Structure 1
């Protein structure tokens, strides 16, 4: 059984912006149980848990909870079937509930979905905002199985163009389905439609879909994309699944925030929600950070977490007390309700990425987002639990299950040095034996998508920051001279994280390098680069010591693949480059639909 657990954490906004923080919802369907609810920041947002299958409840909008008895503010229908569907309006996320334990011999199928992209006024925290939604809701969730063919028809009913990126999917044999606007496809114009058709192939795990044009995903155009594994090695260790998204929430639209992102001010407040637990139930919690910028530190008081997945890759089971999750990253952990019956805080502590950059925070932004983890039989009161964070996750040592080891590490063909400057215009410098550019700003192509240019045998424009290569292993060192962490994401691939640290602290960390002490190397598609700190010239950016991370990428299928900072305001202002794998392009020329780029002519 799967249900949705959402944190919506308000972050940062431009000057003259007033807004609030946390809203979060749960929709949980079980075969028996009672309904609990709580009244958060506004009367239009409630929680229900333990709803009986086959129950239908409808009351007038605007009603609220009363002494723990549900008075439903919006319609909620639970279909009585073996795979019930939660159907809701504003705040309960709709999802199909797949079997807890997939059958081992499940055969791949073709799964069809339709996403109608519209606008909707949503109030998650006491403030109305016109948001972009799929099928009339936030966090529209797609769940499929390993090997399935996924066909999604996107109908754009907005008054602007859009595109949809399938974050973390490799798109082997279908590089035109990556979804990056004007990189691998034409934009889906207003009133137009596009059919995405791709295979999940051998991939499994936790992913997400989001708009990849004009910062639209920060206005709500995003949702979980889950690929279930019939041979999940951890299936026997948990009873049910929870999908939890953590995100920032802006009261101004993304284009306005982008224009003003150097002059930010924030008014914030928080409220709490509840999840009902059965004693000794064990959950797999899939956590997705869909933020424009925010990083969070996640923990559950008095409970240990066993990490089993990162970015769609099974990990060595690792027991921890908390973990940090940056924008675009995903984790799965297993947690068991084996503590004393009571109430416990679920904490999502937002990391302060704003004070170091001169952001003005007003009205006491509370960085600690809270929810309640409530056991059945516990009194309905706030927790008094205390966080004991004695074993935080080190993400740079969370190795892949049965993954690459120091003894099996392959030789790389190419070494790339990559660094960047952050400001109103973000610029990158790349040095290698074959391709070099200095302080270049990325610009999205305006007329011809980069993939079309590459398929025509032409060179990409220098504003795409192109790096051509043929199937090869690439060691990429990313150096961070900024005084905050940055998260970099690679389209169409995962990579191995070999080493991280501070430059020039030790001779063996000046350039090439990898740790030889790990059991296996971490593998993922989105990595945090440590911030620049200290140094002979003082703290911060003045003479600081750069942070770095070394990643090893196996480019083994053709296409045009973006590599960019996933802080949305940095991506939108040029912090990106494009890898062009030319080997195998002849096959792409033969298999790509002949009319794939035709709509670019009508834009």
Structure 2
């Protein structure tokens, strides 16, 4: 009997040890209760404005978790008159035993907008992802006004060593509230689509900032561009950066002196400090001037921040970069995982980027001549509630969202051809991707005569560069002006995933597409929480149906929001003729006034009238 008790005791101890081991590996739960609201601040010291904070605080505190932890964020909409939502930028939401896709955040894609007074609960486990991420509003251009912060996932098995780490958020800054800027931007009075020029750039939500270094110390600096529009260069005087992580992907160490981060991108670097502490150094952040249509005289492109070794020593002076050609090109980085180039694609998506005016006079952004217009029902709801025989039919998601249906496990190739001379950082939700091709910019003529270049789309039979054996992979990549980029990923994460330009002004213009990935598997895995359904109810949005809200006839798209009608054919030419005629008439009128004023003769009104009639007649025949 005593032997039996001893055996049972041993078994009990083993069970207890197993439970302790399970608790040790299960991870912690981090819970946050956030309420959005306006907070009056003066980030650049030039003008006070209302920033969007959480719980009456701005800047919003950073969030730090460990791999395997659970994150619960209860977001309450504290605004009086506008909806909101929250996106976890770079997170895949791959957990297999939970509702995953509905935690992604973009309103009318994976969730209904959170209306004033309502709370949405984001609840998920961080599975097999580490590194540098961030969270931001995915409702309109709200994060422009500060609804954003860093989200760091720590890894006890990091493949590099350092003594201290710092998170550095880079952003652009506008003095007007984002909704006023959007209204002025998407206006017939801005027919060229010139992007709003920021009034400043910020370093950790301020200007003229500083970081402190101790001598002979290794620092991990996590740079995040949380801005809306402008990419930035980063340079540290007389120090080198060793890149070790990009967008949550560990890379083989790559040493450089100049970093380049577009909105949405993250780059972590190691910096070994000097052995002496007798001098301070400049940490420069520089706007990518090529993204601006114009540079106002009072715009500071070159911001000087301080690397302080000695607070008693003089501050470092401004440092100027003579050439930006040495900035690291992510195409030539190599992931530490050594993952080889994916085999030839099973399904190719070609997306041609264009910017054009439609019939309302506003300049829009297009994929394949379609500018994204949000449906009446979130696309995830359509995917989950559609009949199985129709769930793979792209038409039920609407003809204004650029919907592409992907089969589970297939290799997807995305070809981006830029017919615009501006740079565009593209971000894919739910995945990272391999960068298979990345052309240089063709925004300027190769002759170097100052003339604009010509669009150079991808030519599969004659690629500009050799396909890499081990391509870089990340979740946000730059498409160069008039150039092209080719991406590949495996469709192994069922969900409705947004693919869009992370210049938020361009997203507001409609530069987005939807990847409906393995929708039959998605229907098996995704059940809407009570909280999810309640938020939709508060917003008066249906929780089943196609893009137009119909569930009696899934192919009926009557009432679907669509893009404005195109400009009338030849409108542009006739507009030029009308402008020319109006100019001639105006000048003629001025001339007659001058002649009348300096002459004693009486003006012949009938002759002037006949001349104007002849001008208008000639112009009409020409057009």
TM-score range for the pair, normalised by the shorter chain length: 0.7 to 0.9
* Residues 477-516 of structure 1: pairs in structure 2 closer than 5 A: 477-501=415-439, 510-511=459-460, 516=466
In the alignment, which of 365, 369, 379 is matched to residue 313 of structure 2? Answer: 379
Show the 5 A alignment for 1:85-484.
107-124=26-43, 125-135=45-55, 136-159=57-80, 160-172=82-94, 173=96, 174-234=100-160, 237-261=161-185, 262=190, 264=196, 272-338=208-274, 340-341=276-277, 342-355=279-292, 357=293, 359=294, 361-376=295-310, 379-383=313-317, 391-406=326-341, 409-423=342-356, 424-429=362-367, 438-445=368-375, 447-457=376-386, 458=391, 459-471=396-408, 472-484=410-422
Cα distance, 1:158 vs structure 2? 1.0
Q: Could you tell me how far apart the structure 2 residues matched to 1:522 and 1:583 are?
A: 31
Deviation at 1:587, TM superposition (A): 2.2
Partners of 1:448 and 1:414 in 2: CA distance: 27
**What is the alpha-carbon distance in structure 2 between the residues aligned to residue 257 and residue 204 of structure 1?**
35
* d(CA) in 1 for partners of 2:201, 2:73: 38
Query: How has the CA–CA distance of structure 1 residues 347 and 250 changed in structure 2, closer, same or farther, with 3 Å as cutoff?
Result: same
**Which has the greater radius of gyration?**
2
* Partners of 1:241 and 1:285 within 8 A in 2: yes
Q: Counterpart in 2 of 1:24?
A: none
- Distance verdict in 2 for CA 1:151–1:507, change over 3 Å: closer
Does the aligned pair in 1 maintain the 2:380–2:495 contact within 8 Å? yes
1:557–1:584: 8 Å Cα contact kept in structure 2?
no
How far apart are residue 427 of structure 1 and its match?
4.2
Provide the rounded CA distance (Å) in 1 between the counterparts of 2:427 and 2:476. 4
Question: Residue 452 of structure 1: SS of its match in structure 2?
Answer: helix
CA distance in 2, matches of 1:514, 1:266: 35
Q: Does 1:602 align with 2:553?
A: no
Q: Do the aligned partners of residues 388 and 580 (structure 1) sit closer, same or farther apart at CA in structure 2, a change above 3 Å counting?
A: same
SS at 1:260's partner residue? helix
Whole-Å separation in 2 of the counterparts to 1:139 and 1:377: 28
Displacement of 1:286 in angstroms is 0.5
CA offset digits 1:123-164 (Å, max 9, x no partner): 112311011112312232111110111111112111121000
Give the gaps of 5 or more residues in structure 2: 1-23, 357-361, 447-454, 540-623
Give the count of matched residue pairs: 468
Could you tell me how far 1:301 is from its partner in structure 2? Answer: 0.7
Q: 1:302 deviation in Å?
A: 0.3
Cα offset, 1:491, TM superposition: 0.7
Question: Relative to 1, partners in 2 of residues 1:391 and 1:463: Cα closer, same or farther, differing over 3 Å?
Answer: closer
The 1:348–1:594 alpha-carbon spacing in structure 2 relative to 1, beyond 3 Å, is same
Between Structure 1 and Structure 2, the one with more helix by share is 2
TM-score where L is the length of structure 2: 0.71
Q: Which blocks of at least 5 consecutive residues in structure 1 are unaligned?
A: 1-104, 430-437, 533-546
Deviation at 1:229, TM superposition (A): 0.7
In structure 1, what is the Cα distance between the partners aligned to 2:412 and 2:90? Answer: 19
Question: 1:324 and 1:502 mapped to 2: Cα distance?
Answer: 15
The answer to whether the 8 Å contact 2:458/2:484 transfers is no
When residues 479 and 108 of structure 1 are mapped into structure 2, their CA distance, relative to the original with a 3 A threshold, is: same
Conserved in 1, the CA contact under 8 Å of 2:348 and 2:412? Answer: yes
Q: In structure 2, what is the Cα distance between the partners aligned to 1:306 and 1:519?
A: 22
Deviation for aligned residue 1:354? 4.7
The root-mean-square deviation of aligned C-alpha atoms, in Å, is 2.6
CA contact (8 A) 2:172 2:198 kept: no
Matched residues in 1 for 2:534 and 2:144: separation?
29
Evaluate the alpha carbon distance shift between residue 599 and residue 386 of structure 1 in structure 2; reply closer, same or farther with a 3 A threshold: closer
Task: Report the secondary structure of 2:53's partner residue.
Answer: strand
Distance 1:209 1:385, change over 3 A: closer
Alpha-carbon deviation of 1:503? 9.9
Of Structure 1 and Structure 2, which has the larger fraction of its residues in strand? 1
3-state SS of 1:291 partner: coil
User: Contact 1:266–1:363 (CA<8 Å) still a contact in 2?
Assistant: no
Looking at structure 1, the residues matched to 255 and 34 of structure 2 have their Cα atoms a distance apart, in angstroms, of 38
1:192–1:267 CA distance, 2 compared to 1 (3 A): closer
The answer as to whether partners of 1:185 and 1:597 remain within 8 angstroms in 2 is no
| Contact 2:170–2:201, Cα closer than 8 Å, also in 1 | no
The range that moved more, 266-275 or 160-169, is 266-275
- Aligned counterpart, 2:473: 523
Question: 1:507, 1:449 → 2: CA distance?
Answer: 35
